[in-house]
Every structure is written in structure tokens, then in C-alpha cells.
Amino acid sequence: MKSIGNLIVISGPSGSGKGTVCHALTQENPSLVVSVSATTRKPRGAEKHGIDYFFLTREQFEEMIAGDRLLEWADVYGNYYGTPREPVEKNLSTGRDVILEIDVQGGLQVKNKFPQCVLIFLIPPSRDHLETRLKQRGTESAGDIERRLSWAERELKEVQKYDYLVINDRVEEAARKIGAIVTAERCRPALLDVESFLKTNWK
Ligand code: 5GP
């Protein structure tokens, strides 16, 4: 049956393992597209332009805002982050599901614009787990880690506005749960061309 794609937002504190879980999810479901965000933060470690993020200057980012070329954007820890609109809309119109790995401010903006989107909150099992993961990652200063932990506490207050909550205890298990959500959401009649299916197969 023909369908339009579904927009799936995965939010969760920095260090909650969104990237690792999304990687496992796309390995299992290769038709899923993960949107590449734009940001004004500097590349970290081996991150590459166009693959991990589009690394932009503040001027370039503000031009994208002015041109309405972002589906959503937010200021996170003093840097801009946003979702380029065009590739997302193109993939959805060809029936592919698109994953956005974005913060809670962005997730709630997307829900306002696309009420049919699916909001999934990925949470580490505890604050201690999150702190340990951020420290082990070794890419942030002690001050940045503190900022990210207190930002996480603020984000957690919005959990009830999300459609699903997944605890990231084990990566494979979290990816399996999100895969099950994606599969179930694809069965919603609102996304499917039910009329032409019935016309062709049930006349
Ligand atoms: P990081 O700097 O660790 O890659 O990301 C910091 C935070 O920004 C994470 O919570 C991440 O989900 C969020 N983020 C990444 N891309 C986007 C985006 O396009 N829009 C919004 N609103 N948040 C984003």
C-alpha cells in the first residue's frame, strides 16, 4: 500500500546514547533515514561536515532561519542546532520514515507543526549513568558536563509531553523497542493511501 513517511523524533539528554541507539536502529531498519542537523558548534573528535552535522557559522545559520529553511531550530548550550527542511520533506513525500535526533525544545516545535509525528524520549537508567557516560566520552570539559547534566534535568520535566519513553539500559534492547514503535506507527491509516488500496483490492 502506498504511504507517506512518518516523522520520528528521538530526544533525550546529551550522553543518553541517542546516536548509538539510532545507529543500531538503522542497521536493523536500513530504509530509515536519519536527518543531518545544522549546528554552529565546532566539530568534536572525528566528526565530519555533512555526515555528523552541517557545521555552519552563526551568519550562515541565521540565513537559514531567515529563509525558512529549517523545520525547527533551538539554542542548545549557547549554540544553534536545527533541522534542514528540504531533505526531510523530500524523504517523507517518497514514503520514507525520517528520524530526527534533536533536543526537547525542537521536538515540541515539530509536534506543533506536524501533530502526526511521533515523539520518543530516550533516557539513561539514572543520573549517575549519564554522568559516567559524559565523563567517559571525554569530549567535554568539567563545566560543560555540569551544564549538560542540569540541562538534562530541565529536559526531563517535559517527558509527559512525549508519546513514548524508552530507557536506554542496553543499546540493542532500546533500539529494538524503538524499532517496534516505528513499525506500529507505520500501520496508522492516516499515513496510508487507504482509499486507493480499497478501490483496487476491495471493489
Ligand atoms: P551535541 O552537541 O551533543 O551533538 O548535541 C547537543 C544537543 O543538541 C543534543 O541534545 C542533540 O539532540 C541536540 N540537537 C542535535 N541536532 C539538533 C537539531 O537539529 N535541533 C535541535 N533542536 N536539537 C538538536
Q: Which domain CATH number covers 64?
A: 3.40.50.300
Task: Return the best residue to mutate from 9, 71, 103 for the ligand 1 pocket (most ligand atoms within 8 A of CB).
Answer: 103
Let me know if residue 132 belongs to a domain. Answer: yes
Pick the more confident residue, 43 or 1: 43
Let me know if residue 70 belongs to a domain. Answer: yes
Reported confidence tier of residue 137, pLDDT bands at 50, 70, 90: confident
Pick the more confident residue, 85 or 189: 85
Hey, how many other C-beta atoms are within 10 angstroms of the C-beta on 62? 14
Residue range 121-143: mean pLDDT, rounded: 90
Q: pLDDT value at position 3?
A: 82
In this structure, which residue's CA is closest to atom 3 in ligand 1?
Answer: 14
Question: At residue 193, does pLDDT exceed 90?
Answer: no
* Residue whose cell numbers read 539500559: 169
Reported confidence tier of residue 191, pLDDT bands at 50, 70, 90: confident
Sheet holding 54-55, edge to edge: 54-55, 38-39, 79-84, 70-76
Let me know if residue 1 belongs to a domain. Answer: no
How many Å apart are CA 166 and CA 194, to the nearest integer?
Answer: 31
Q: pLDDT value at position 50?
A: 97
pLDDT above 70 as % of the chain: 100
When mean pLDDT is compared across 2-6, 77-81, 114-118, 147-151, the lowest value belongs to 2-6
CA of 188 from ligand 1 middle (Å) equals 28
Q: pLDDT value at position 52?
A: 95
Q: pLDDT value at position 203?
A: 82
Determine how β-strand 33-34 pairs with β-strand 98-101.
parallel
Give the domain range for residue 73. 7-201
**SS3 assignment, position 172:** helix
In this structure, which residue's CA is closest to atom 5 in ligand 1?
Answer: 14
Let me know if residue 67 belongs to a domain. Answer: yes
Residue range 131-137: mean pLDDT, rounded: 90
Number of domains within the chain: 1
What's the pLDDT tens digit per position in 15-56? 889 999 999 999 999 999 999 999 999 998 899 999 999 999
Let me know if residue 121 belongs to a domain. Answer: yes
Cell of 94: 517518497
What does each C-alpha distance from 71 to 86, 124, 129, 143 come to in angstroms? Answer: 8, 27, 32, 31
Let me know if residue 158 belongs to a domain. Answer: yes
Pick the more confident residue, 19 or 77: 19
Residue range 55-59: mean pLDDT, rounded: 98
Let me know if residue 2 belongs to a domain. Answer: no
Q: pLDDT value at position 23?
A: 95
Let me know if residue 119 belongs to a domain. Answer: yes
Residues in Cβ contact with 173 at an 8 Å cutoff, skipping those fewer than 6 apart: none
In this structure, which residue's CA is closest to atom 24 in ligand 1?
Answer: 102
